[in-house]
Structure 1
Amino acid sequence: MSANSMNAKVTWVEGMTFVATSGSGHQVVMDGDSPGKAPSPMEMVLMSAGSCASVDVVSILQKAKQNFQRCYCELSGTRADSVPKVFTDIHLEFVVVGTDINEKHVERAVKLSADKYCSVAKMLEASVNITHSYRIESPQQDD
């Protein structure tokens, strides 16, 4: 198998519950029922987009030596009304929590993730309207 190829296996468990095993040996449970016992495949797509973009944003902010304690991505997705209920719109909002955060670095990190690095979002943007925003918050007393 080449360095650019991946593989996975999805195994039915019961009902509409499946276990997906990645080629690297990691497992994730998914459920096609709504609500199910685990995330649905479409929820996994949404979470994958947020995870992929977050890796980029955190990596870029770390390289820029930004003093952040937390970074998270809040996602919202809108799906088509009829089958197949594909995503029509996905919005990613990055929240960076820290002190003395330079907004230009956050803006740059989000832009680079959106325009260049996030392979999941780049793949989806051919058919999904993907938008991004960010906000910077100061740590609270209990952070």
Structure 2
Amino acid sequence: MIFNMTENGFVTECAYGELTVSGDDQYGFRPYQLLVSSIAVCSGGVLRKVLERMRISFQDIKVQAEVERNEKEANRIEKIHLHFVILGEDLNETKIEKALVVTRKNCAMVQSVKDSIEITESFEIKETK
């Protein structure tokens, strides 16, 4: 990837389109937003694949990310809590717990930051009819 400087940040061309990154969210995505998004979406995508491989039927997954930052240490991200809301019918809590363990081990983004950012997960099941 090549990032070119602009007046208010940097821009790069990706296969999907242009990505603008800036420390000011008026001009692009902030770096911490991209980091948190990468971890949340990677985890959600891996969870989706794991549930499908386990033949667990579900309708939707939502991922809520809560971030704790340390202002005294360059506003670094110290903790990310991911809360998965899984919508489906007759979902088994024990199987979802097992799927999350597999997800954590196979999410490249979580594995990349696990020694520097505390990542925690929780989930809830919402029944659909």
Aligned-pair distance for 1:112?
1.2
Q: Scaled by the length of structure 2, what TM-score is found?
A: 0.88
- Structure 2 match to 1:52: 42
Letter paired with 2:12 = A
2:88 is the counterpart of 1:98: yes
Q: Aligned runs of 1:38-117 on 2, under 5 Å?
A: 38-114=28-104, 116-117=105-106
Letter paired with 1:95 = V
Letter paired with 2:13 = T
Match of 2:6 among 3, 13, 16: 13
The CA RMSD measured in Å over matched residues stands at 1.7
Cα–Cα, structure 1 residues 85 and 136, in superposed 2: closer, same or farther, change >3 Å? same
* CA distance in structure 2 between the partners assigned to 1:133 and 1:62 by the alignment: 19
* CA distance in structure 2 between the partners assigned to 1:139 and 1:13 by the alignment: 47
Letter paired with 1:99 = E
- Structure 2 match to 1:132: 121
* CA distance in structure 2 between the partners assigned to 1:108 and 1:20 by the alignment: 38
- Structure 1 match to 2:111: 122
Moved over 6 A (4+): none
Fraction of identical pairs, as percent: 23
1:56–1:109 Cα contact (<8 Å) kept: no
2:8–2:27 Cα contact (<8 Å) kept: no
How many residue pairs match? The answer is: 128
2:23 is the counterpart of 1:32: yes
Structure 1: gaps spanning 5 or more residues: 1-7
* CA distance in structure 1 between the partners assigned to 2:31 and 2:93 by the alignment: 34
SS of residue in 1 equivalent to 2:99: helix
* CA distance in structure 1 between the partners assigned to 2:76 and 2:107 by the alignment: 20
Structure 2: gaps spanning 5 or more residues: none
Aligned-pair distance for 1:14?
2.9
Q: Scaled by the length of structure 1, what TM-score is found?
A: 0.80
- Structure 2 match to 1:5: none
Aligned-pair distance for 1:106?
1.3
